[in-house]
Structure 1
Amino acid sequence: MTNAANRVGSSAIRTPRRRSVDNGRQEELLRDVAEIFFQEGFTSVGVDDLSKRLRCSKATLYAIAGSKEQLVLRITKRFFASSAAKIEEAIAVENDSRKLIQRYLEGVGEAMGSMSPRFYEDMISYKPTADVYSDNAATATKRVREFIAAGVEDGYFRQVHGVFAAQLVGLAIEGIHSGQLLEGSDLTPGQAFSELGDLILNGLQTTD
């Protein structure tokens, strides 16, 4: 596969024609572009193609992002920020640490499941978006560490070294992130995060 970093900039030509686009139209276009990217990846889709398919001018697209790289990065950041907010909202009412971990990782899996394999490959191959993904993986590791520590303290989990357990989970998250743990399996990244939640709970639950 051609390196995404070499291809993502192929349509990143700035245009002097800038126009004002109202917030409602911006949101509509960002949603539509995100849908195309998540289904098809972003290295193979140029600004010319986007403008034709979305029936808007290139100047309109450049008004919401000055280049294709900026458009890709903006959509990626929006996706992870929105997903994180939804996951945190979903677990806010949950007090059981066991269910917290499960629901949190299921939320991560559901979010990742909205990405096609092509987008995922493009994302981890292009450094700016790979960095965004890495930052979010680190945040996920931190949250799981907090859940484990709370579960041990509350007696939901047996006594374990919380930092070590969380670092182990972090390695698993990184393995999913890099694709290494997906090799030889038929799991998507989203499914892998859900499986990780099940594995953690089976290993941490106290015996009756």
Structure 2
Amino acid sequence: MSEQTTQSAFTTPVVPDKVPTGEYPLIDNDPHFTRVMRYTRPSDWAYGLGIGSISPALMLYWERVSPSFVGKGGFAPVMRLSCAIGATGMFLSAYARSSHRFYGARENRREVDMDMREMVDKVKKGQSLYGSSDMSEYLQGVAHRNSRYSAVFAHVIPWPNFVNHPYHGVDTAKYFRQAELELEQERQGKEGNSS
């Protein structure tokens, strides 16, 4: 009796992933930080630069419209802080836009193709699709549950995924099917060339 109650006290509730119903396909609902940065488009950086330049531009504008008269060296620290805030805003906005493409919330044809190519190459090499981790399966699940779809709220709490885990909300069988097709085509190509 006590064994049964002890066992039930330590069960982990399974929170199912939200299945997006958007116009574009889901690539990954919890992409690793480095993967998001590799897939970031130049237009995301340009958008982020626009967002990030607002803070220093406003400080310069306000200083011109209503001078503070703080004297020599008084305005420079304020501008440095303003530029640091702008750079943070630039990075977070570019990161969020790139992550939204993984979620299928934005047009993501380029990312879908890059994802398929990257994962099929990993399958062909016999590598783990999403990398390996020294963390326990339980902690990988905790990390996933804490950071999935986190870029939606990145402007309030930046919480990117730094953990390699197998929970990404997509059916990975498509990568294995594509790898099989490509390997078969390569084999047939070699047989055709040898005969």
TM-score > 0.5, shorter chain as reference: no
| TM-score (normalised: structure 2) | 0.23
| Bigger Rg, which one | 2
Higher relative contact order (CA 8 A, sep 6+): 2
| TM-score (normalised: structure 1) | 0.23
Tell me which protein shows more helix as a share of its residues: 1
